[in-house]
Structure 1
Amino acid sequence: MPWSNQSGGGGRGGGNGPWGQPPRGGGSGGGQQPPDLEELLRRSQDKLKQMMPGGGGSSGSLALLPLILVVAVGFWLYQSVYVVQPDEVGVELQFGKVKPDTNPPGMHFIFWPFETVEKPQVLKENQETIGVNRAPAGSQGNIMLASDQNLVDIKFTVNWKINDPIKYLFQIANQPDLVRVVSEAAMREYVAVTPAETVRTAGRTAGSLAVEDIIQNVLDSYDAGILVTSVNMEQALPPADVRDAFDEVVRAGQDRERFQQQAMEYSNKRLGDARGEASQIREAALGYRDRVIAEATGEAQRFDAVYEQYRLAPDVSRKRMYLETMEEVLSKSKKVIIDQGAGSGVVPYLPLPEVDQRRQQGVN
């Protein structure tokens, strides 16, 4: 070893050690001894003085003193002046004791090293996810037992922030782990008194609010200085081994609702059509009634007018009525009546009815 080579015979200093001093407890068989600490410090100081300007004299030390003071003051100011960011507050400690007031965002000053500062982020919203994503390998996720002895695989998130920085810093340790443990315990407490079907379906919103209250109460009992802003139940499913069977039940329920909706739509359509037809028939009946009444009223008024004229000239009215009646009756007769004075030149066997019929067909 270099140690032993330097201390061997014939070397510089004879039997001295590697730093030039004789080993303690001399004499044969004394063995190797550690170097003298005071001698080592003295030699280090001598080397430092040689490195200083002026060969380590008093004038060199005095020339370097202002630089040392400037560096010391700059380092002290660097440690004493601190800046609080907009999302932080400054919590100062004097000799390890917390000051009651916190400092807002901005530049502040402390007497370091007698005072120190902590700057927790009070506006930052933290999130803890509890569920299958953080389950260890080979586990069944975040399985919880419901009140009806069924299992539920739950994943949920807890959002929280700091509302009392002093309590947050000095009342508890490992704050995120505490929030995680308390949140999982609170969720298990809620699931343990709730049926599994309610947890998976209609009870998600109510469950999130209930778990949020439980978490906040527990954290307040610890003086954790943490405010829970929200709890979101992202997943509430049956265990993976029986999930397909539950999914089949859910699909059957969805099919039932879809069929019921289709039947309701068909029923509403048929009912609407029937109501429309009934309204149409009713309106047609009312129109027919009004038309018949109007026609009857018109006929009665016309009869009254005719009667008034008949009452004024009964002979004329009788003759006119006779002529109109005979015209209507004879127009339907197939007989041909020929005046005696005009019939001298008519062929006796001329088929006048057939001629008249052909004439009428030609006109039509």
Structure 2
Amino acid sequence: MNTPPPWGKKKKPVGPEEFLADLIQKIRDHFEEQKNKERGGGEPPPQDSSKPDKERNLFAAAGKIAAVVAALILLRGIFSSFYTINPGEQGIVLRFGKYARTAGPGLNFKIPYMEDMIRVDVENVRKEEFGLRKTAKSNSDESESLMLTGDKNVIEVAWTVQYKVGDPVKFLFKISDVKQAVRDNSETVIRRIVGNMDFDYVLGNRAMLARIARQELQRDLNRLEDGIDKSEEKHGVEIVTLQLLDITPTDEVKPAFNEVNEADQDMKRLVNEAEEQYNRVIPKARGSAKQLVEEAHGYAVQRLNDAKGETARFKAIAAEYEKAKEVTRQRMYLETMQTVLPQVKQLYVMDKPVLPFLNLNAAGGSVSPAFLSPAQENQSK
């Protein structure tokens, strides 16, 4: 039989679970005593002599735990009241869940247990892809690229949207799901634009359609934030670029489309060759025609001046001829001979005419048949 030691039972350390159990039991005993006093029946149960010591231990342990908890709460509040915002970020401070202020990069302070802070990256450019093959980095689906043009043709359109945070407060609280809003509104805008255009126009005006789609997408997102488009204000989502990557027909009509495209390229090539030939020949012909016209004008002026000169010279000679006919006639004869004689190869001077005329230019000095009599022609034969 185990007998307790004379110095009493050894006290064991009280843990948190034992402390809570004893505290609950003490509360129950207190309420039972109050009920018994109100009924006036029976005597209170005998109390253990060690109960005061146990209560003092419980209260001491509770005080220690409360002090530790209070110290932890205080340290946590002190450490959480200071925070650092990195470059390219902004901190949105909420006081009891309501927007209070925006904190810039650097070390900042907030009231502990009253204010919360949300970091927003305002420099990073976010990207959404549409109509591309689904990969680990892309959430796009092939079905979203199929669109119907204004002339009832089906094409596949692939595009990307890049956006960043403009106003971090509006970015957080004006639109619940920014990523989904960008995807839905972007697809709506592209389908609306393509549906109002013809097939050939969409294929040939990619840059212009991308610019129009970017403006309309920004306007739609602005209306989601404020209900109206206030272009002068800074909005939560700022569209950086919208680029149409690929616009192609579906696989079923690609062979026919390729043939049409090749024919169109051949037509453009022939047109370019014709324009090249035109630019090479027509200016040259125009230059030659202008040259001939200028030469004709020059020739006309020359002939006119020559005629005027000859007329003046003839008038001068006629005037001199009237003054001295023999002298003028002789001078004209000599001037004519001076011009003609240098061009003559052979010169014969004869006092009397010679019959028959000899063809002096013929080889061997033979008589030309043109000057022979019929008898002489028979002899020669």
- Fold conserved (TM > 0.5)? yes
Match of 1:88 in 2: 89
Match of 1:337 in 2: 351
Report 1:60-79 matches (<5 A).
78-79=79-80
| Rounded Cα–Cα distance in structure 2 between residues aligned with 1:213 and 1:328 | 91
Asked if the contact 1:132/1:141 (under 8 Å) is kept, the reply is no
Further displaced range: 233-242 or 116-125: 116-125
Partner amino acid, structure 2, of 1:144: M
Secondary structure in structure 1 of the residue aligned to 2:252:
helix
Partner amino acid, structure 2, of 1:123: E
Match of 2:367 in 1: none
Deviations 1:139-177 (A, max 9, x none): 566212233332111111112222221121133344223
Against the structure 1 CA distance between its residues 215 and 354, is the aligned structure 2 distance closer, same or farther, given a 3 Å change threshold?
A: closer
Match of 2:179 among 173, 176, 183: 176
Against the structure 1 CA distance between its residues 110 and 301, is the aligned structure 2 distance closer, same or farther, given a 3 Å change threshold?
A: same
Match of 2:295 among 284, 289, 313: 284
Deviations 1:5-58 (A, max 9, x none): xxxxxxxxxxxxxxx99xxxxxxxxxxxxx99327999xxxxxxxxxxxxxxxx
Secondary structure in structure 1 of the residue aligned to 2:124:
coil
Match of 1:118 in 2: 118
| Rounded Cα–Cα distance in structure 2 between residues aligned with 1:217 and 1:322 | 104
Against the structure 1 CA distance between its residues 262 and 323, is the aligned structure 2 distance closer, same or farther, given a 3 Å change threshold?
A: closer
Secondary structure in structure 2 of the residue aligned to 1:241:
coil
Identity %: 30
Match of 1:134 in 2: 134
Asked if the contact 1:219/1:226 (under 8 Å) is kept, the reply is yes
Against the structure 1 CA distance between its residues 140 and 239, is the aligned structure 2 distance closer, same or farther, given a 3 Å change threshold?
A: farther
Match of 2:47 in 1: none
Match of 1:48 in 2: none
Asked if the contact 2:123/2:164 (under 8 Å) is kept, the reply is yes
Please report the RMSD computed on the Cα atoms of aligned residues, expressed in angstroms.
Answer: 4.2
Deviations 1:208-264 (A, max 9, x none): 344334433432343282122332212111112322221221111111111122122
Asked if the contact 1:335/1:353 (under 8 Å) is kept, the reply is no
Asked if the contact 2:147/2:191 (under 8 Å) is kept, the reply is yes
Against the structure 1 CA distance between its residues 329 and 143, is the aligned structure 2 distance closer, same or farther, given a 3 Å change threshold?
A: closer
Against the structure 1 CA distance between its residues 157 and 242, is the aligned structure 2 distance closer, same or farther, given a 3 Å change threshold?
A: same
Against the structure 1 CA distance between its residues 325 and 150, is the aligned structure 2 distance closer, same or farther, given a 3 Å change threshold?
A: closer
Partner amino acid, structure 2, of 1:122: V
| Rounded Cα–Cα distance in structure 2 between residues aligned with 1:319 and 1:170 | 124
Against the structure 1 CA distance between its residues 216 and 333, is the aligned structure 2 distance closer, same or farther, given a 3 Å change threshold?
A: closer
Match of 1:235 in 2: 246
Secondary structure in structure 2 of the residue aligned to 1:336:
coil
Deviations 1:251-290 (A, max 9, x none): 1111111112212222333322321221121122122222
Partner amino acid, structure 2, of 1:80: S
Secondary structure in structure 1 of the residue aligned to 2:123:
coil
Secondary structure in structure 1 of the residue aligned to 2:133:
helix
Partner amino acid, structure 2, of 1:128: E
Deviations 1:288-337 (A, max 9, x none): 22222222233233333334444444443244346667888998874522
| Rounded Cα–Cα distance in structure 1 between residues aligned with 2:338 and 2:114 | 138
Asked if the contact 1:92/1:117 (under 8 Å) is kept, the reply is yes
Identify unmatched segments of 5+ residues in structure 1.
Answer: 1-19, 22-34, 43-64, 339-351, 359-364
Q: Which TM-score applies when normalising by structure 2?
A: 0.62
Partner amino acid, structure 1, of 2:279: N
